Amino acid sequence: MTFKEFPIYRSHLDLARAYWEKFLSKGSKVIDATCGNGKDSLYLAGLTLSEDSGHLFCIDIQKQAIENSKKLLKDNLLKSQFERVSFHHHSFEIFPSESFECDLIVYNLGYLPGGDKSIVTNRTTSLKSLELSLKWVKDGGMISLSCYTGHEEGLIETNFILKYLESLEPSNYTVCSYNFINRNKAPLLILIQKAFPKTALST
Ligand code: SAM
């Protein structure tokens, strides 16, 4: 399908980026839990990294993905910004300890575009990682998830994740799912916000 241009967003990724822009600023600490070819990471780096503040943690289970992301970021960031990015070649069920209390955690699920389609995120490890994210993100922080329903495991994974997220206590988290309801098997964007704790004044 070819799309014409639209005024604000055309895809779930445009929508995700619009929210990241609204939420992040220079100095933010962000995890890209599935860095793939590094396109999302590069965008996040532009929003968060200054010469002396911010940190971006790029995780991927595939060596090829880590290499692709590293190259893209190295070629497009200032040296001082690139020094504020770390690369982690392992599954997203573990986060680097320095990334605790981060502002935003991003997942773009599925398989590496142009890579091995048999290496794909799955319901069990994605759910484990999501549980970790809910703890790891700071109070007032966000999690952004792009989910793909166009392949078999993606559909199962998405439904599994949605079921789990529906059970979260609404006073602690808001969970919003954006679906393109007039497109066939379109990817969806899920945004989770973690509440700030009650302040002494608001009790
Ligand atoms: N954000 C990427 C970009 O901008 O190019 C695209 C990500 S791609 C849709 C999904 C990625 O998830 C793949 O690179 C794949 O290797 C990775 N992945 C699959 N299972 C994973 C796991 N358990 N932990 C971390 N990454 C995983």
Q: Is 121 in the pocket of ligand 1 (CB under 6 A)?
A: yes
Check: CB of residue 70 under 8 Å from CB of residue 37: no
Q: Compute the distance between CA of residue 114 and CA of residue 3 in angstroms, rounded to an integer.
A: 21
Q: Compute the distance between CA of residue 31 and CA of residue 66 in angstroms, rounded to an integer.
A: 14
pLDDT at 202: 62
**Which is the closest atom of ligand 1 to the Cα of 68?**
5
CA 35 to centroid of ligand 1, rounded, Å: 6
pLDDT at 142: 98
DSSP class of 50: -
Check: CB of residue 65 under 8 Å from CB of residue 36: yes
Q: Is 92 in the pocket of ligand 1 (CB under 6 A)?
A: yes
pLDDT at 1: 61
Exposure pattern of 108-118 as b/e (b: 16+ CB <10 Å)?
bbbbbeeeeee
Residue 95: other Cβ atoms inside 10 A:
21
Q: Kindly report the CA angle at 19 between 180 and 173, in degrees rounded to 5?
A: 90
Which distant-in-sequence residues (6+ apart) come within 8 Å of 193 by Cβ?
A: 140, 141, 142, 173, 174
* Residues β-bridged to residue 104: 30, 142
CA 178 to centroid of ligand 1, rounded, Å: 21
* Residue 162: exposure state from Cβ atoms within 10 A (0-12, 13-18, ≥19): middle
In a structure prediction context, what are the per-residue pLDDT tens digits for the chain, which is 203 residues long?
A: 666 889 889 999 999 999 999 999 999 999 999 999 999 999 999 999 999 999 999 999 999 999 999 999 999 999 999 999 999 999 999 999 999 999 999 999 999 988 888 899 999 999 999 999 999 999 999 999 999 999 889 999 999 999 999 999 999 999 999 999 999 999 999 999 999 987 766 65
